[in-house]
């Protein structure tokens, strides 16, 4: 029998033990955490809509009108008019032919990748894709090629090696732990050249970037070029659940093959109605997105002014990479003592040596709150760790500059030896970073 205590001991020894903290009351820019008021600086409730009065009201009314749950999967008896209405509005927002709801972003990614990457195919996945994409690849019958983070040269090489078996390229639009944006134009160009589909996970892009918050794909002008776009309802839209935007034929295929949709209960009406109200607010008030983006800049600038430069970016996700897991936890605890909640993120959520505070701003934060938060964070980082943060930031910015300097995607005859070497170790399996 598995020695659970031994396994827990091992997790503890590696500084990776996790525990849950308790928030009382609604999710806002300030919350009561384990009984203490704190500024919340690690939530995905980017637009501050989870506790918006109209969103709450919509959920409450839907509960009274339609009940709390859907009672079955959509293919049995759980498909309700309210699901279809939300799908129509999401498709309209994302300028897609149709949309299909899933129970969560995790379920959507697992289900779609598994349905599309079949035995004999190769699925191409960025090394920093979300764990749900990694798990979809693990469950799929296809081989997986993990390309270096945002490394289109590596991806190009892999596609060529696959010799036409490349079925799907999958990437986060905005990367969840680093807040950077995938090189979508180059990815689409490669997909077209190699006849592969493209799937983009917009969990952190919807409501945060792009025209009116329509996401990274819209920002790149690629709404007609991406085959599948996954979005979630639990982040900027303040509710719970997810959706896939695609054409009708693809939606029909997913409805018949995506196991996480077929074998899982439909989202309950209150969550559906809440997401619908949040989407309405986003469309009525696009300035929320501008405020969110300004807040991201305010926090980045305030951290830099405190001697803590973070990688350049325009998303609400601001990574302060500390490195060692125990150091990251210690910094997070000290920041909390100053009244700011910034959870430490450790492996396997981020690669080994990449433990960090993943700071996230909300549209509902004030500038003063963010500047004070930056001071609290700066006061909690010891001098030895500061130097390492500055070095990492310089390295990250330099590698982003190198990527940006590549104007077109190169094919294998110009791919460097190091790209080939990196590729050769991943064709047979997945990297373990989740
Ligand atoms: C990039 C990404 N995709 C998918 C998910 C999963 O979404 P959900 O929380 O709705 O399951 C997350 C969650 O954090 C995420 O960061």
Range list of H helices, 144-247 = 152-162, 184-194, 216-219
Q: What are phi and psi of 136, to 5 degrees?
A: -60, -40
Candidate list 52, 130, 149, 204, residue with the active-site label? 204
C-alpha to C-alpha distance for 46 and 55, rounded to whole angstroms: 14
Do 221 and 298 fall into the same domain?
Answer: no
203 lines ligand 1 (CB under 6 A): yes
**Of the residues 253, 284, 315, the one at which a domain ends:** 284
Candidate list 149, 235, 327, 365, residue with the active-site label? 235
Q: How confident is the model at residue 411 (pLDDT cuts 50, 70, 90)?
A: very low
In which residue are the tokens 């609400």 written?
A: 316
Enclosing H/E stretch for 357: strand 355-360
pLDDT of residue 403: 63
Residue 80 above 70 pLDDT? yes
136 lines ligand 1 (CB under 6 A): no
Name which of 112, 110, 118, 125 is nearest 426 in CA terms. Answer: 125
The answer for residues whose C-beta is within 8 angstroms of residue 216's C-beta and 6 or more apart is 173, 174, 181, 182, 184, 200, 202, 205, 209, 210
Q: Are strands 122-126 and 143-147 parallel, antiparallel or unpaired?
A: parallel
Do 231 and 369 fall into the same domain?
Answer: no
The answer to whether residue 123 is domain-embedded is yes
The answer to whether residue 80 is domain-embedded is yes
The answer to whether residue 234 is domain-embedded is yes
206 lines ligand 1 (CB under 6 A): no
Q: Which atom of ligand 1 is nearest to the CA of 176?
A: 16
**Of the residues 258, 284, 310, the one at which a domain ends:** 284
Q: Are strands 143-147 and 166-172 parallel, antiparallel or unpaired?
A: unpaired
204 lines ligand 1 (CB under 6 A): yes
The answer to whether residue 2 is domain-embedded is no
176 lies in which domain range? Answer: 67-284
C-alpha to C-alpha distance for 47 and 105, rounded to whole angstroms: 18
Do 181 and 262 fall into the same domain?
Answer: yes
Can you read off the two tokens belonging to residue 383? Answer: 């001098």
Q: Which of 149, 203, 358, 433 to mutate to test the pocket of ligand 1 (most atoms within 8 A of CB)?
A: 203
The answer to whether residue 211 is domain-embedded is yes
Q: How confident is the model at residue 407 (pLDDT cuts 50, 70, 90)?
A: very low
Secondary structure class of 345 (helix, strand, coil) = strand
C-alpha to C-alpha distance for 376 and 110, rounded to whole angstroms: 38
Longest distance between any two alpha carbons in the chain, whole Å: 63
Per-residue pLDDT tens over the stretch 215-247: 999 999 999 999 999 999 999 999 999 999 999
Is the sign of the CA dihedral 218, 220, 221, 226 positive or negative? negative
130 lines ligand 1 (CB under 6 A): yes
Q: What's the burial of 33, exposed, middle or buried (CB within 10 Å: 0-12/13-18/19+)?
A: middle
Do 86 and 136 fall into the same domain?
Answer: yes
172 lines ligand 1 (CB under 6 A): yes
C-alpha to C-alpha distance for 397 and 393, rounded to whole angstroms: 6
Question: Residue 418's CB: how many other CB atoms inside 10 A?
Answer: 11
127 lines ligand 1 (CB under 6 A): no
Q: Which atom of ligand 1 is nearest to the CA of 234?
A: 10
Residue 417 above 60 pLDDT? no
Name which of 90, 33, 113 is nearest 333 in CA terms. Answer: 33
132 lines ligand 1 (CB under 6 A): yes
Query: Which residue has a Cα nearest atom 10 of ligand 1?
Result: 105
Please report, for the domain that includes residue 398, its CATH number.
Answer: 3.90.1150.10
The full length of the chain comes to 434
Do 280 and 295 fall into the same domain?
Answer: no
74 lines ligand 1 (CB under 6 A): no
The three state secondary structure string of 245-286 is: EECHHHHHHHHHHCHHHHCCCCCCHHHHHHHHHHHHHHHHCC
Do 375 and 252 fall into the same domain?
Answer: no
Residue 419 above 80 pLDDT? no
Measured CA to CA in angstroms, residue 376 lies from 33, 36, 40, 43, 177 at distances of 17, 16, 13, 18, 21
* CA 211 to ligand 1 center in whole angstroms: 22
Is residue 348 reached through a cis peptide bond, with omega within 30 degrees of 0 on the bond before it? yes
Do 213 and 337 fall into the same domain?
Answer: no
Question: What mean pLDDT is predicted for residues 26-44?
Answer: 97
pLDDT of residue 404: 59
Q: Which atom of ligand 1 is nearest to the CA of 172?
A: 1
pLDDT of residue 60: 98
pLDDT of residue 389: 83
Q: What are phi and psi of 198, to 5 degrees?
A: -120, 130
Q: Which of 111, 130, 174, 228 to mutate to test the pocket of ligand 1 (most atoms within 8 A of CB)?
A: 130
176 lines ligand 1 (CB under 6 A): yes
Work out the percent of the chain whose per-residue pLDDT is above 70.
Answer: 92
Please report, for the domain that includes residue 193, its CATH number.
Answer: 3.40.640.10
Residue 274 above 70 pLDDT? yes
| Number of domains making up the chain | 2
User: Is 176 assigned a catalytic role?
Assistant: yes
Q: How confident is the model at residue 392 (pLDDT cuts 50, 70, 90)?
A: confident
Q: How confident is the model at residue 393 (pLDDT cuts 50, 70, 90)?
A: confident
Residue 82 above 90 pLDDT? yes
Can you read off the two tokens belonging to residue 117? Answer: 């990457």
DSSP conformation class of 335: H
Q: What are phi and psi of 143, to 5 degrees?
A: -80, 155
Measured CA to CA in angstroms, residue 161 lies from 33, 124, 148, 292, 396 at distances of 51, 12, 15, 42, 28
* CA 232 to ligand 1 center in whole angstroms: 7
103 lines ligand 1 (CB under 6 A): no
User: Is 365 assigned a catalytic role?
Assistant: no
Q: Which atom of ligand 1 is nearest to the CA of 107?
A: 11
Candidate list 167, 176, 239, 364, residue with the active-site label? 176
Do 38 and 172 fall into the same domain?
Answer: no
Do 101 and 232 fall into the same domain?
Answer: yes
Do 137 and 239 fall into the same domain?
Answer: yes
Where b means 16+ CB within 10 Å and e means fewer, 328-365 reads: bbbbbebbbeeebbbbbbbbebbbeebbbbbbbbbbbb
* CA 111 to ligand 1 center in whole angstroms: 13
End-to-end CA distance of the chain: 27
Residue 162 above 60 pLDDT? yes
* CA 44 to ligand 1 center in whole angstroms: 10
Do 215 and 205 fall into the same domain?
Answer: yes
The answer to whether residue 210 is domain-embedded is yes
Q: How confident is the model at residue 425 (pLDDT cuts 50, 70, 90)?
A: very low
Do 241 and 319 fall into the same domain?
Answer: no
**Of the residues 284, 315, 342, the one at which a domain ends:** 284
The answer to whether residue 377 is domain-embedded is yes
User: Is 252 assigned a catalytic role?
Assistant: no
């Amino acid at each position: 029998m598995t020695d659970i205590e031994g396994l827990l001991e091992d997790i503890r020894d590696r500084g990776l033990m996790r525990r849950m903290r308790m928030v009382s009351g609604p999710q806002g820019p300030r919350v009561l955490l384990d009984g203490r008021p704190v500024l919340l600086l690690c939530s995905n409730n980017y637009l501050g809509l989870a506790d918006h009065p109209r969103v709450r009201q919509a959920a409450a009314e839907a509960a009274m009108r339609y009940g709390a749950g859907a009672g079955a999967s959509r293919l049995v008896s759980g498909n309700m008019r309210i699901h279809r209405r939300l799908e129509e509005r999401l498709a309209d927002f994302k300028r897609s032919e149709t949309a299909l709801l899933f129970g969560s972003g995790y379920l959507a990614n697992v289900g779609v990748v598994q349905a599309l990457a079949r035995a004999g195919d190769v699925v191409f996945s960025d090394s920093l894709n979300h764990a749900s994409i990694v798990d979809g690849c693990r469950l799929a019958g296809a081989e997986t090629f993990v390309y270096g983070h945002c490394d289109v040269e590596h991806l190009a090489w892999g596609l060529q090696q696959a010799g036409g078996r490349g079925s799907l390229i999958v990437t986060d639009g905005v990367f969840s732990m680093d807040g950077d944006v995938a090189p979508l134009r180059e990815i689409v160009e490669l997909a077209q050249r190699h006849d592969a589909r493209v799937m983009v996970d917009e969990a952190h892009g919807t409501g945060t970037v792009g025209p009116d918050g329509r996401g990274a794909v819209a920002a790149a002008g690629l709404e007609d070029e991406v085959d599948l776009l996954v979005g979630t309802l639990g982040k900027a839209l303040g509710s719970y659940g997810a959706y896939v935007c695609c054409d009708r034929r693809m939606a029909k295929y997913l409805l018949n093959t995506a196991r996480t949709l077929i074998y899982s209960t439909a989202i309950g009406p209150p969550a559906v109605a809440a997401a619908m109200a949040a989407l309405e607010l986003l469309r009525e008030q696009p300035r929320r997105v501008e405020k969110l983006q300004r807040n991201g800049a305010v926090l980045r600038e305030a951290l830099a002014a405190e001697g803590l430069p973070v990688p350049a970016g325009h998303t609400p996700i601001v990574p302060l990479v500390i490195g060692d897991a125990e150091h990251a936890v210690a910094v997070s605890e000290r920041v909390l003592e100053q009244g700011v909640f910034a959870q430490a993120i450790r492996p396997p959520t981020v690669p080994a040596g990449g433990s960090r505070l993943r700071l996230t701003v909300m549209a509902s934060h004030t500038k003063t709150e963010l500047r004070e938060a930056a001071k609290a964070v700066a006061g909690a980082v010891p001098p030895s760790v500061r130097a390492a943060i500055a070095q990492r930031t310089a390295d990250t910015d330099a590698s982003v500059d190198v990527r940006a300097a590549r104007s077109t995607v190169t094919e294998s005859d110009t791919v460097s030896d190091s790209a080939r070497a990196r590729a050769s170790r991943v064709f047979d399996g997945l990297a373990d970073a989740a």
